[in-house]
Structure 1
Amino acid sequence: MATTDRQATTLALAHALSAAERGLAVIPLSRTKLPALRSPHRDAPEPAGPPCHGECGRFGHGVYDASTDPVRIRELFAAAPWATGYGIACGLPPHHLIGVDLDTKSGTDSSAALRELALRHLFTIPETVVVLTPSGGRHLWLTGPPDVVVPNSASRLAPGIDIRGAGGYLVGPGSRTAHGVYATAPGTAHLAPALCPPALLRLLLPPPRPAHPAAPPTGDHGRGLVQFVLTAHEGQRNTRLFWAACRAYENGLGPALLDPLVEAAVHTGLSEHEARATIASAARMTGQGNQGGAWGDYGV
């Protein structure tokens, strides 16, 4: 490895350890801004059930590897000596970080779009940590309530404004990428992430779901499978969802019951990501192919 790369890795580790001291969970990143460690399951057959989030004990699970423990962070970087940056996981305690990415590559003035939203919805962006990106963009660091899950989104709020929430990460200041170095904006390095204004927080959240999923147009059997998932308790939610999805695909109801089963699973406390991954595994198990889809980690 070139000396400059070793220096970049050493600096990235130092910055990551400093961030961890502030309560920010981190992972090593490559020059492409992606997690530096590849999944240990990449060459293994797709397992039945939800994807592994680190339960196997190995590294390579993206934001699920993120930690504030200096010993674990050093182990992560030792396993990825090519890392030149670090990612900060969003949505985790104690900060419950929300990243507002004001992009410049879309050809739109994302800063102006944010100002327009602030005027229209009567909120002000408080003084907070601002990270400058090599492309000229900015990342605003905000914090959310501990009982609110802010999802990741791309240009949903406005063109050029991406949001990083639970399951996402921000490239940390001091990281070196293929396009340059991320740096804290002057005068903001000493600040703590500010509270997200309530009016902005409401814009970041998905519309509320109905109290109960609508009954699927698939007869009593379909309604029974959805009800079976709805009555699941913690510890049996994935198992019940997987069983119900298998029965649905075996009886030719898989496509019709996909959304009702996802809604039922979310109602019991699973994330939509977990629900769709579990249903996709059921589809594969019953020979119906990858019907449910899967999403990767999100980072900026």
Structure 2
Amino acid sequence: MATTDRKATTLALAHALSAAERGLAVIPLSRTKLPALRSPHRDSAAPSPLPAPPFEQAGSPPPPCHGECGRFGHGVYDASTNPRRIRELFAAAPWATGYGIACGLPPHHLIGIDLDTKSDTDSSAALRELALRHLFTIPATVVVLTPSGGRHVWLSGPPDVVVPNSAGRLAPGIDIRGAGGYLVGPGSRTEHGVYGTAPGTAHLAPAPCPPELLRLLTPPARTPHRAPSATGRHGQGLVQFVLAAHEGQRNTRLFWAACRAYENGIGPELAHALTEAAVRTGLTEREARSTLASAARMSTPHRGQEPD
């Protein structure tokens, strides 16, 4: 088994270096498709599912560490095209059997269209229906085949547009990997098999995303009259707390931040900014508004209390 793992790691590193030569920033992944290196800050995190963030104690919100500490283990923020750094990353994670490609970074500003096969909906048919309805076509581009039978369609976005990650927002069974997300690179070996490029697409560069599709992938423009700055530094900190959420903690962080906002009397002014932040992390607007409404009810004086 050890020999097999070493071979898989060597192959993953080779594929990662090849991707980097094409301008794609990479990180090592484990067999579970998660970043292979754990966060160096994990031991300093509070065990409670609703932790009190540092800005509650310090009075101002420190930005989340995106690798400024100089250590590995910051997920997609570790991604690099530098061969030396990539080798260092893999040397720190000798159990890695795959690699992830960071989305949203120059020069390609990669956008991943993840066509899932696990849902009851035919995601490929859903994408074709969207293309017909909104008058666009998916150009010839890189397509990666997943072990489960799904497909990752690679597209290139413009440098001045931030495409957020989302799950099922575009259509059932279609997930979007944008800024802050990553795609499993071809050649990666996971618990379920090996990722590979579809025949005839390996030599292609990510094609430009059709403008009509890009409009569907980007959130609506912000309304300036509801800017979070009106709520002061504490309100900005709560918004940043929500923006830093990863999958699996988005609702929890939004609920916690909303409770703090309503308890401090800035809930109504901050509601729009919190909703936008939650949508950027992958929640739907309906889910975000429902969570905010629950927080408002829980935080009403003499009625609510913090959840267990």
TM-score (norm 2): 0.75
Say if 2:89 is the partner of 1:76: yes
What secondary structure sits across from 1:170 in the alignment? strand
What secondary structure sits across from 1:98 in the alignment? strand
The CA deviation at 1:107 is 1.9
Please tell me the residue identity of whatever aligns with 2:96.
Answer: A
Instruction: Quote the Cα distance in structure 2 between the aligned partners of 1:130 and 1:113.
Output: 17
Instruction: Quote the Cα distance in structure 2 between the aligned partners of 1:130 and 1:92.
Output: 19
| CA separation of 1:172 and 1:72: change in aligned 2, threshold 3 A | same
Query: Which residue of the partner structure matches residue 19 of structure 2?
Result: 19
The CA deviation at 1:108 is 1.4
Query: Which residue of the partner structure matches residue 285 of structure 1?
Result: none
Q: Quick check: 2:39–2:74 contact (8 Å CA) kept in 1?
A: yes
Query: Which residue of the partner structure matches residue 295 of structure 2?
Result: none
Give % identity: 77
What secondary structure sits across from 1:112 in the alignment? helix
| CA separation of 1:226 and 1:261: change in aligned 2, threshold 3 A | farther
Query: Which residue of the partner structure matches residue 284 of structure 1?
Result: none
The equivalent position to 2:108 in structure 1, one of 95, 112, 127, is 95
| CA separation of 1:5 and 1:150: change in aligned 2, threshold 3 A | same
The CA deviation at 1:45 is 4.1
What secondary structure sits across from 1:43 in the alignment? helix
Query: Which residue of the partner structure matches residue 245 of structure 2?
Result: none
Per-residue CA distance 1:2-51 (angstroms, 9 max, x = gap): 10000000000000000000000000000000000011011114643332
Q: Quick check: 1:226–1:261 contact (8 Å CA) kept in 2?
A: no
Say if 2:176 is the partner of 1:163: yes
Per-residue CA distance 1:206-228 (angstroms, 9 max, x = gap): 122213217xxxxxxxxxx8436
What secondary structure sits across from 1:157 in the alignment? strand
Query: Which residue of the partner structure matches residue 221 of structure 2?
Result: 208
| CA separation of 1:11 and 1:251: change in aligned 2, threshold 3 A | closer
Q: Quick check: 2:104–2:110 contact (8 Å CA) kept in 1?
A: yes
The runs of at least 4 aligned residues of structure 1 exceeding 6 Å deviation read none
Q: Quick check: 2:231–2:266 contact (8 Å CA) kept in 1?
A: no
Per-residue CA distance 1:167-203 (angstroms, 9 max, x = gap): 0000000000000000000100000000000000001
Say if 2:236 is the partner of 1:241: yes
| CA separation of 1:59 and 1:106: change in aligned 2, threshold 3 A | same
Instruction: Quote the Cα distance in structure 2 between the aligned partners of 1:257 and 1:44.
Output: 32
| CA separation of 1:243 and 1:120: change in aligned 2, threshold 3 A | closer
Q: Which runs of 5+ in 1 are unaligned?
A: 215-224, 230-237, 274-287, 291-300
What secondary structure sits across from 1:135 in the alignment? coil
| CA separation of 1:249 and 1:98: change in aligned 2, threshold 3 A | closer
The equivalent position to 1:65 in structure 2, one of 60, 78, 92, is 78
| CA separation of 1:70 and 1:256: change in aligned 2, threshold 3 A | same
The equivalent position to 1:131 in structure 2, one of 135, 144, 147, is 144
Per-residue CA distance 1:216-271 (angstroms, 9 max, x = gap): xxxxxxxxx84365xxxxxxxx78834999xx8697315444425548x98xxxx9
Per-residue CA distance 1:62-112 (angstroms, 9 max, x = gap): 000000001110010000000000000000000000000001011211111
| CA separation of 1:107 and 1:251: change in aligned 2, threshold 3 A | closer
Q: Which runs of 5+ in 2 are unaligned?
A: 47-53, 56-60, 240-256, 282-304
The equivalent position to 2:271 in structure 1, one of 248, 252, 259, is 259
Please tell me the residue identity of whatever aligns with 1:196.
Answer: C
Hey, which of these two has a bigger chunk of helix by percent? 2
**How many residues of Structure 1 are paired with residues of Structure 2 in the alignment?**
252
Query: Which residue of the partner structure matches residue 41 of structure 1?
Result: 41
Please tell me the residue identity of whatever aligns with 2:264.
Answer: G
Instruction: Quote the Cα distance in structure 1 between the aligned partners of 2:160 and 2:105.
Output: 11
What secondary structure sits across from 1:5 in the alignment? helix
Instruction: Quote the Cα distance in structure 1 between the aligned partners of 2:142 and 2:238.
Output: 46
